[in-house]
Structure 1
């Protein structure tokens, strides 16, 4: 089974020596929206959604019917969705492996912004050497490094401000066995000598611009969310879009040390706004998804249940109960930490 999301949605394929922040795609991809939609309302229950309901819900986000059906079909071929057919009706749900991946991914997305631990000043450096003719392996390795929060300081030398975990080590060994060397080091200032600063591996100004764009898009909605003036279809559309957009920050801004960033870095503010929209619309959106799914089922409507940001941080699994107040408090505290 492939990953539910494609790294090229965030970082289109580019020359290995480039270190600029890549362009975003024009509009959300239907497959990404479909995965986000099913994850947001079925991950806790493993519910099957009628394909017609998925198409109708995606249409409310702006996807065409043909595009929605193609997205569902491709996700099923990739093993991300499981299909079931009863008579003339077909239904889909997340494959167990995809649900587990998305649960861990949801926790990672929130944790990447909620973590406030001080940085110890050590960089992890990953050097690799692959022949030019092994383009597929190079592309896979670079994509995996992006997912892990690394960025290219030089061609073949990628860096992160965080240590390489055993799980990440195993992923890299799987993608490029025998082609990777890992170091840990501190940066040494060279004074008058010229050299690249480690932070230059990321386009900090462009990352900040993405944050500001996110805040301009979603802050104006907060009064309507608080006053419960957002209807069902609009709530699902907004909740799907805000997640589909916000999840990219875990890769674009992989917990870069605040000590190295400009004052007033908007990471915590973006998490606060995301939480207000995502949690504030959860109940209304859940009711709408259940109602739409009910139109296409002969029996009781599917067991649709939303989850909150606190539950994402705790790790959403099938059969989960709502998160405790202690978990919710951790997210609230992290959101207000600045």
Structure 2
């Protein structure tokens, strides 16, 4: 599932070089899988996992051994993971910056899929002009606007149905080196075929197809999740994949007003299905991660804890990280050095229960 807007980033660029998250690739990448895996079971405690255990868990999800090792190494170079060594054994944990970043992102993913606030019929417009030699700044601004729920109505004119919040204003002020104007008002439709409604900045048909594909792909697995038939490596694999897929929706459908959407909009059914699968697999997946880590650790790993959607909404914080409400938006997933896409062909959710 890729964005119909051709925006690869899930988290925006806050202009910081201290943490470089991997860029979203078409499909699931080893780095993305590794980061999701670490977040799903160690975000709350920032537990360090033996590198051999991380490799074992990733290979169970279809990543090659070489791809898993490369992903860990690159995430460490990016500042996403911190490494330590005890004798011949190496371990990795999420850095504090990454834990705060991912906690904010998890909260954003879930709250963005909740019922939208009442709409007052007005639109916030951000018009900007940046020098031609500031291409990186332009990309960062566009990524930031996308993360904030804006879409391009015209080149250099981005819109949102909601007010510009103080934190969003602060982020835009930090990013902007050119000319930016923000204003809010109502549309006055023209009796002309050239009149473009603001909602057309979003490809509603494409978003609908993405929701439909998500529901068609994951609904057949739900009865098996509820009956406890999905466990072990299959539970970890399915839980990682459903998160890796669902987290793209906030950039596709940033709480667009229901008044402007077709009847029967699938935002809520998709969110409910995601929660049922993700939460329903939390316990068996946690048990399997503990079992795998135990094979490579000297003691029973008590600090491996799967969080649920309720935890994500409340704010899952790693040791030493800050509250999600106090953090800046997550950093952009910047391009990896070279290709690390060494995964075997991706299985469907139903196929993932095999093996």
Q: TM-score, normalised by structure 1?
A: 0.85
Tell me, in whole angstroms, the C-alpha distance in 1 between the residues paired with 2:150 and 2:283: 36
Q: CA RMSD in A?
A: 1.8
Q: Deviations over 1:220-278 (max 9, x none)?
A: 00110010000210000000000010010011111111110000000000011001000
Tell me, in whole angstroms, the C-alpha distance in 2 between the residues paired with 1:109 and 1:254: 10
2:258 paired with 1:258: yes
* Aligned residue in 2 for 1:216: 216
* Aligned residue in 1 for 2:286: 286
Deviation of residue 289 (structure 1)? 0.6
Tell me, in whole angstroms, the C-alpha distance in 1 between the residues paired with 2:55 and 2:180: 43
Contact 1:293 1:302 in 2 (8 A): no
Contact 2:116 2:256 in 1 (8 A): no
Tell me, in whole angstroms, the C-alpha distance in 1 between the residues paired with 2:220 and 2:208: 19
Most deviating of 122-131 and 295-304: 295-304
SS in 1 for 2:100: helix
Contact 1:47 1:302 in 2 (8 A): no
* Aligned residue in 1 for 2:34: 34
* Aligned residue in 2 for 1:185: 185
Question: Higher relative contact order by CA 8 Å / sep ≥ 6: 1 or 2?
Answer: 2
* Aligned residue in 2 for 1:111: 111
SS in 1 for 2:117: coil
Tell me, in whole angstroms, the C-alpha distance in 2 between the residues paired with 1:294 and 1:180: 54
2:261 paired with 1:248: no
Contact 1:47 1:304 in 2 (8 A): yes
Tell me, in whole angstroms, the C-alpha distance in 1 between the residues paired with 2:117 and 2:139: 32
* Aligned residue in 2 for 1:312: 312
* Aligned residue in 1 for 2:139: 139
Q: TM-score, normalised by structure 2?
A: 0.81
* Aligned residue in 2 for 1:272: 272
Tell me, in whole angstroms, the C-alpha distance in 1 between the residues paired with 2:214 and 2:193: 38
Tell me, in whole angstroms, the C-alpha distance in 2 between the residues paired with 1:10 and 1:101: 12
* Aligned residue in 2 for 1:166: 166
* Aligned residue in 2 for 1:62: 62
Q: Deviations over 1:281-318 (max 9, x none)?
A: 00000000111111111233251000111111111123
SS in 2 for 1:196: coil
Deviation of residue 41 (structure 1)? 0.4
Contact 2:37 2:240 in 1 (8 A): yes
Tell me, in whole angstroms, the C-alpha distance in 1 between the residues paired with 2:116 and 2:68: 39
* Aligned residue in 1 for 2:74: 74
Deviation of residue 9 (structure 1)? 4.8
SS in 2 for 1:84: strand
